[in-house]
Structure 1
Amino acid sequence: MDSKNTFTFLAFFFLGIVVALALQIYFFSPISPQILDVPSPSLVNSIFPPNNHLQEVTKIGEGLLKDPEDVCVDKDGTLYTAGRDGWIKRMLKNNGSLLQNWKWVNSTTLLGVATIAKGGIVICDTQEGLLRVDDDGVTTIVSHFNGSKLRFADDVIEGEDGSLYFSIASTKFGLHNWFFDLLEAKPNGQLLKFNPQTKETSLLLDNLYFANGVALSSDQRYLLVCETWKSRCLKHWLKGDLQGTTEIFIDNLPGAPDNINLAPDGSFWIAVIELSNKAMKFVHTSKIAKHLLATFPRLIKFVQASHKKATVMKVSEDGKILKRFDDPDGTVVSFVTSAVEYEDNLYLGSLNSNFVAKLSLNTDSA
């Protein structure tokens, strides 16, 4: 074969590879993406610059937990958290920092936890739905909605009448491929309500961009839900003249809001995660790049940045940022997904730790 024919062969060979790769990406990509507008954190950072306050945390139960995504504290001061190994751990108020095994759930997909008035906790299992866990064991509260199995229950809160408000992060993707939902950047999430009297589940909000944390206001007049991919939280009115309407509570957060929890003073704590590192943010502006990552998911690790830092923010009832705490390099704690205040301490859940972090709020830095 002469040099001209060799060149022609190689040209067609590599062209064939490119065409085959393009067809692979186009026809076998699991997503149908749209562009995601990731807000710049510059404005918030100029007023509330990143700091090192979360590097001052103490570690509760270090080595005894596996990625405790959420924490909650009941009226008696007992702290609960759930790990990816299925263990529900608790720390009694008068037991110092002793974390003990309480109940085991046969699941590795446990997320949001909340206390309930009748005792025990309710927990979101992304595969099984809402579960109640108490001294008698584990029971299923809700597993289906509109004839379909719940796919991705994420966070839950109980109202004063016993109703359970909970988020469905995605109706299309599950926990283990949550990054596909981010790449697709479409409103696949929902906010649901379970009525314990009628045993019925109803839809409050649809078309949410990864519905995540859920919180009730101190007077229970409105409900907050975080839209992670939109870097914002929505306010849905439950009572009053605005009942049934929805508005933006806070937007343009310097990251993606995960869980949100009511603080004792009526404000809210929001855990904020980093979706992608600075060098790879272009991915969210390119459908081709999104298809490529979805088709070859091993590449996703080069985009993710959630394990690189930690941020929590305190936000007033009218949606104004009050405080900010960070571990900007993830030196001590990273991928913080929830923050709960109890008796002047902040307890933090994380999807990248083997402990619950505790930050004293009785310091000059706080």
Structure 2
Amino acid sequence: MTQNGQKTDLRNNWSLEEIKAIYYKPVLELIVEAATVHKQYQATGEVQVCTLLSVKTGGCPEDCSYCPQAARYHTGVDVHKLLSKDQVLTSAQRAKEGGSTRFCMGAAWREIRDNRDFDQVLEMVKGVNELGLEVCCTLGMLNEYQAQRLKEAGLYAYNHNLDTSEEHYDKIITTRTYNDRLDTLEHVREAGISVCSGGIIGLGETDEDRIGMLHTLSTLPQHPESVPVNALVPVKGTPLAEQPRVSVWEMVRMIATARILMPQAMVRLSAGREQMSVTEQALCFLAGANSIFTGEKLLTTPNPDFDTDKAMFELLGLQPRQSFKEVAAETC
């Protein structure tokens, strides 16, 4: 870290050994360092509020071991076809009124197909964009042409998580490869869309796997603008249903390390927040988290609602981040 109040350098050449040295620091020392970096690059006390809606639920052909939407698992998730544009815009308007500035639409697809459903999603993107919200999608794998069509429709961000390390990946998913994930991120970046990519902890991985995933993200040619850190929410019927709950200290360690490695990124405290107390969430904000999902569900798993989060923001003195802040800064 640089001295005399100067900013920590932005880097894309982190070594595994350097990341290990950060990750394994005593946790209080790690939090202090992350908080210092966070203050250098971000407006402290400001948190981006996002809402995630499942626009097409269940029936996915993939075998992601954590996912209740995989068709091969019996999880009790009802399959729903693609929502209408009007249904989505109603939800987006409600999210905006609840304080969200980013609205993300998720579809349980392995990849985007060039068909009527994709055309419908493009219309949804246009509509949500017109509401003044940052619009994000997570639709599975995509190619260069599809990324460009989404960009032209007004898509602001695309989420495609790495989930875990390359070494642990085939123990969690076998229906696509790690390189498939990286290729999608490259197509998103080339189209000029903001990249949202992080992972899930609690999948039976080791600390070395967590470090490996952070290494992959932090050594991309350009850091993701958004890095979600999810704690597994075990779902009955999935292969990972019996996994133990991730502790707050594991979340703090991941968030703090991500903050130090990728100072300009929005580090999102994502899935698993429903099981966390306000005190535990406050520790994550102190460690550098500055984005959350709000609303009753994250696709199909429980999540704190708008009123609960509003009360937490008031208690902790947090302010919602405005929409399109990066764009506004670039045009000043």
TM category (shorter chain) comes to 0.3 to 0.5
TM-score scaled by length of structure 2: 0.33
Structure scoring higher RCO (CA < 8 A, sep ≥ 6) equals 2
TM-score in terms of structure 1 length: 0.30
Q: Which of the pair is proportionally richer in helix?
A: 2
